[in-house]
Chain A
Amino acid sequence: MNIAVCVKQVIDTEAEKRLDPATWRLDRNVTCILNPYDEYAVEEALRIKEAHGGEVTAVCMGPQKAEDAVRKSLAMGVDSAVLVVDEALTGSDVQATAYVLAEALKGIQWDLVIFGVRSTDGETGCVPAAVAERLGVPLLSTLAKVEVQGSSVAVHRETEQGYVSYECPLPAVLSVIKGINEPRYPSMKGIMGAKKKPLDVKDASALGLDTAQVGLSGSKTKVLSARIPEPRKAGVKIEDDGTGAQKIVEFLASQKLV
């Protein structure tokens, strides 16, 4: 059972998010971390490997410093990694990113590809689906439980009402949600051993990518503008002196809500 786990480096969830007004791209010159949702994906991959054997490979696209996020996955126990770094990829949208990841995935052995449900910066949650489409394999997304049974996988797909059980033959692409497991801390030996594990850094030409399909210019979506939401205004506090209900109705009416 070989597993590829796709990981992304994101800006620290506690860091202030700033957009570059020229490109509307996120300023990444702040503390960056492994996308928290990807930690669940890495943990799930490691648990499947521990139960069924095989190898886990991390696949990442990003700037050179995304190596830190990849190293963390290696420190957690991932066996090897592929990091795709190329200036030409900067600004890639969902489809362009999916194209790059799919091409990188074609270069390695896997029965399962596991993603975190979304990144905490882009927040689209669409990359797993786009990658599955390009690879021509089934997608099972927003999973709260994954069980590999021989050459198929049984999953719980979380919905607003509960969950739906699916079974699916391998190979497949999965995306997992927070709470599917408790991601492990990298051990000290894991950290010290991470730099000895194979990390294959590839550029666009090494993957044979068509550069017209990647980067800001190769992306089909264009960000026209963006703005920071106005800070939420303080609410109106109504003390109930017997006329509370009346005042609430008046307020709702004044907002044309009733």
Chain B
Amino acid sequence: MDFTLTDDQRMIREMARDFSQAEIAPQAAEIDRTGAFPADILKKMSELGLMGLPIAEEYGGAGADYTSYCLALEEITRACGSTGLTYEAHISLGCMPIYYYGTEEQKREYLPMLCSGESLGSFGLTEPNAGSDAGGTQTTATLSDGEWVVNGSKCFITNAAYAKFVTITAVTDKGKGTRGISDIIVPTGIPGFKVRAAYEKLGLHGSNTTELFFDDVRVPEKNLLGVRGEGFKQFLAVLDGGRIAIGAMGVGIAQAGLDAALKYAKERVQFGQPIGKFQAVQFKLADMAMNIELARNMYLKAAWLKDTGRPYTQEAGYAKLFGSEMATKAALDAIQIHGGYGYIKEFPVERYLRDAKLLEIGEGTSEIIRLVIARGLGL
């Protein structure tokens, strides 16, 4: 047993921390207030090679492991949840399906533009009537004259307005249930494909959340990703990896909450002493620190399992479920420690709460994750 990070992992975390604190954190409140997409930050992240971090060098990536990516993601999210989610969806949901299931030709066509940041990665799974029940997908893709003709719509799709293509799930073989779903790469900006970003969200205001509309959208037959009819199986595997990353995001937001609350508890004087001297406040901070470290250890273990080629579905579920619920709790406690100041936007902790809540919903609600974990127990 050895908990030591590799030299590469340590350096990547250190660089991501320095970069995030210097370049991202100072902009986070403004991004939240205006909902402006952090394009300038993403440009810098692209130049530093973060956008293709865990992708092999031959496709334009940096060739680091998944653990390194999760460490960087924790630091980026600690500085800004919106930038963190943009990055997470780009790598976990945008790059990974192509990386795992693409043909050599598809990998060479699509991965370099993702790794360079020329396109953001985006994955279209959720539909108005198919959320947790992804098997209820209604978007269809029908082969006609060597082309897939796509019809339907998607909702809550991250990054699509900044993507050159979106990988979507669609029913290609009706009547086969989940075995009739396939993954198809659909370029944006082609006739019949509309992307709309009109949601008013609780948090993560700088993240680009969109609806997709397909009206007789035609793409070449070769845009099928992976095996026809295995789209459901493929995205389940993609989501397993994403869940580790969501766990890392939870740790990032909770750490930011602890950073802020600790600072405040040392400065705020009541009854003649800093409130951090009171056990009521100490106990909250102690719990936050403990939960953060537990969640960090869990996402790191899950990432390590993935990097070493071992099964990790169960551990990814633990990392996501514990990391996200712990983050919401930590954000609430950080607000409570701040008292009235925690409820106003002059301090960052109310933003942490609004950003953290999404982690309990996106890429599998807490309830669905509990079902996945229970299934792993043989239930």
Contact = CB atoms under 8 A, between A and B. Distances in A.
Contact of B62 (A71, A72, A192, A195): A192
Contact of B48 (A72, A185, A195): A185
A188 B7 contact: no
B19 A187 contact: no
Interface string B1-36: 000000110111001001100000000000000000
Main secondary structure of the interface of B (DSSP, over half): helix
Contacts of A195: 7-8
B49 A189 contact: yes
Classify the secondary structure of A's interface with B: helix
B191 interface: no
B58 interface: no
A252 to B, nearest CB: 31
Which range contains the number of B residues in contact with the other chain? Answer: 10 to 19
B47 A191 contact: no
A185 B15 contact: yes
Interface string B33-75: 0000000000000011110110001000011100000000000
A237 B48 CA distance: 50
Contacts of B11: 71-72, 75, 186, 191, 194
Contacts of A191: 8, 11-12, 15, 62, 64
Given A71-B7, A195-B8, A189 B62 contact: yes
A188 B19 contact: no
Contacts, number: 45
A225 B18 CA distance: 36
Nearest to B62: A188
B140 to A, nearest CB: 40
A195 B63 CA distance: 13
A240 B8 CA distance: 60
A101 B48 CA distance: 32
A192 B48 contact: no
A215 B47 CA distance: 43
Interface in B285-330: none
Given A72-B11, A195-B7, A188 B18 contact: no
B91 to A, nearest CB: 12
Contacts of B47: 187
Contacts of A185: 15, 18-19, 48
Interface string A63-81: 0000010011001000000
A75 B52 CA distance: 17
Contacts of B48: 185, 187-188
Interface residues of A, number: 14
Interface string A185-203: 1111111101100000000
A68 B8 CA distance: 10
A194 B15 CA distance: 14
Contacts of B7: 68, 71, 195
A185 B50 CA distance: 12
A132 to B, nearest CB: 31
Contacts of A75: 11, 15
A75 B12 CA distance: 10
A195 B11 CA distance: 11
A194 B57 CA distance: 14
Contacts of A68: 7, 10
Interface in B331-353: none
Nearest to A72: B11
Contacts of B19: 185
B49 A187 contact: yes
Most interface-central of B8, B19, B47, B50 (chain A CB within 10 A): B8
Given A185-B48, A187-B47, A187-B49, A192 B8 contact: yes
Interface string A171-185: 000000000000001
A199 to B, nearest CB: 12
A187 B19 CA distance: 11
Given A191-B8, A192-B8, A195-B7, A186 B15 contact: yes
A192 B63 contact: yes
A181 to B, nearest CB: 15
B19 to A, nearest CB: 5
Contacts of B52: 188
Given A186-B11, A187-B48, 7 more contacts: A72-B11, A75-B15, A188-B49, A188-B53, A191-B62, A192-B62, A194-B11
Interface of B: 7-8, 10-12, 15, 18-19, 47-50, 52-53, 57, 62-64
16 contacts: A68-B7, A71-B11, A72-B11, A75-B11, A185-B15, A185-B18, A185-B48, A187-B47, A187-B49, A188-B15, A188-B48, A191-B8, A191-B62, A192-B64, A194-B11, A195-B8
**Interchain residue pairs A-B with the least CB separation, the first 6:** A188-B49, A188-B62, A187-B49, A191-B11, A189-B49, A187-B48
